[in-house]
Amino acid sequence: MAQTRFAPDRGLTTRMVTTMFFIGLLYVVVVGVLVVLLKGAWVVVLLISGALFVAQFWFSDRIAAFSMGAREVTPEQAPELHGAVDRLCALADMPKPRVAIAESDVPNAFATGRSQKNSLVCATTGLLRRLEPEELEGVLAHELSHVAHRDVAVMTIASFLGVLAGIITRAALWSGVGRSNRDQNAAIAVLIVTAVSVAVYAISFLLTRLLSRYRELSADRAAALLTGRPSALAAALTKVTGQIARIPTEDLRKAQPFNAFYFAPAFNKESFSRLLSSHPTLEQRLDQLGRISAELGRA
């Protein structure tokens, strides 16, 4: 990873490596099961699986940007947004990512890309309308931290592997694995495919959720230390969370599938299990920023 002035986080690095190891292991198991079950088509299984993985890795930023309605903008089209990104990149000593805006009233932001040179940072029109300049810089610093630490690339790949594993096994199930031999072996094959699909999806879901919550706290901390204004980020968090609660449910549901990539989740009800949440609670994030503010005050 190219060095930046964002505070390093060994805990985040350890979690990313662990997550990718187990997700990769799951992926190998799924492909292995399919190769065994689809004996006559193992070459096709390997080629398709490999091609999809490579495509996701190289085009993850474009796929995510398109899915979330991001539109790349020039400095002339969005001078304030570009100005904030320029200042933060100079402060962090990192390459400037592409800058985009998503036409959405949901106040949020996200970053994507497999590396610092191929990254994109996007803010919604709803966020740009609601935040003060210092608050916006806090949010953008949070997103740039994801790029600098490369956890956004890990999340993109990890999420894709889990989903792909489930899709492949379910496709094998619906295509009729073993139906040509209506015997006990066919029934066993169907059960194996179903069991693998469920297990892979569940394990990958939990792994990415655990990583997602930690990476958000890490990005909050890195952004607060870089800007030296944890109170501005805390104000942005409070404002965004409060404003999201007033957004129509229909709009929030459109954003919900991308919760793990957003600055704040579209849905994060108190009754929702913390184990399944993509983000730490607002209280946890504000508590951490409060401690950082106290630390900076004593320094």
User: Annotated catalytic, 250?
Assistant: no
Would the annotation count 146 as a binding residue? yes
CB burial class (10 A; 0-12, 13-18, 19+) of residue 240? Answer: buried
The one-letter amino acid code at 268 reads: N
Neighbours of 147 (CB within 10 A): 28
Calpha distance 34→31 (Å, rounded): 5
Torsion of CA 81, 84, 87, 91, to 10 degrees: -120
Q: Which one is catalytic: 72, 132, 143, 295?
A: 143
Name the residue with tokens 């096709």: 44
Summarize the annotated binding site for Zn(2+) as residue ranges.
142, 146, 216
Annotated catalytic sites, by residue? 143
Summarize the annotated binding site as residue ranges.
142, 146, 216
